[in-house]
Structure 1
Amino acid sequence: MTINKKRNGNTLNVSIEGRLDTGTTPEAEKELKGCLDDITELNLDFSHLDYISSAGLRLLLSLQKTMNTRGSMKIQHPNDVVKEIFEVTGFSDILTVE
């Protein structure tokens, strides 16, 4: 898994490549949660995310909960596999997916 972050004022754009699963989610959580203090807009680019497991979904819920108190969070460009996971789990109803 590779995480690329680009900050623009109070906006954080994050691209995640590879898999967000039980093995990689703790690293992603550490990487992301530590840089949200003054962020009001979090954009997660999933165009190169191959797969997301329940561990990754829990991280998204946690990030969404944090961002609900500060601003907004968007999931951008998920592939068909990730979109299907969001739809089957109901996450497409609680996350902003573009």
Structure 2
Amino acid sequence: MSLEIKLKEIQDKTVIAFIGTLDTNTSPVAEDAILELLDKGTKKMLIDLEQTRYVSSAGLRVFLATAKRIMANSGTLVLCHPNEIVKDILTVSGFNTIIDVKPTVKDALNGN
């Protein structure tokens, strides 16, 4: 399995899309991409999960580490557009109570 990462800036937010599977093999790549953005001063990040097929515990750790770091810098992190499988993983793991999860990127951008 592989992971493709796409970045874009919308309004004052950085949107990072993970395309593929976020697992033990690919999460270090995802974490490096996120850390690079945070090191550059990104304060508002949306992680677009629309094309993320699966998130393992390693992927969840990336989300948690990102949330801790971005919140320590008074920033915001929103996970958005998870498919049913990823939404179930976020719910079962309780991550939907720790990190803001929005149904679409548009909702996340509008703060709904």
Q: Same fold (TM over 0.5)?
A: yes
User: Which is helix-richer, 1 or 2?
Assistant: 2
**Alignment: residue pair count:** 98
Cα distance, 1:7 vs structure 2: 3.1
Cα distance, 1:69 vs structure 2: 1.9
Cα distance, 1:11 vs structure 2: 2.3
TM-score (norm: length of structure 1): 0.93
Cα distance, 1:9 vs structure 2: 7.1
The RMSD of aligned alpha carbons is: 1.3
Say which of 78, 84, 92 aligns to 2:82: 78
DSSP 3-state at the match of 1:36 = helix
Cα distance, 1:48 vs structure 2: 0.4
List gaps (5 residues or longer) in structure 2: 103-112
Per-residue deviation, residues 37-60 of structure 1 (Å, max 9, x unmatched): 311100010000000000000000
List gaps (5 residues or longer) in structure 1: none
- Percent same amino acid at aligned positions? 35
* Equivalent residue runs for 1:1-98 within 5 Å: 1-7=3-9, 11-37=13-39, 38-70=41-73, 71-98=75-102
Deviation larger for 9-18 or 28-37: 9-18
DSSP 3-state at the match of 1:78 = coil
Checking the alignment, whether the CA contact within 8 Å between 1:10 and 1:39 is kept in structure 2 is no
Cα distance, 1:10 vs structure 2: 5.0
* CA distance in 1: counterparts of 2:95 and 2:37, whole angstroms: 24
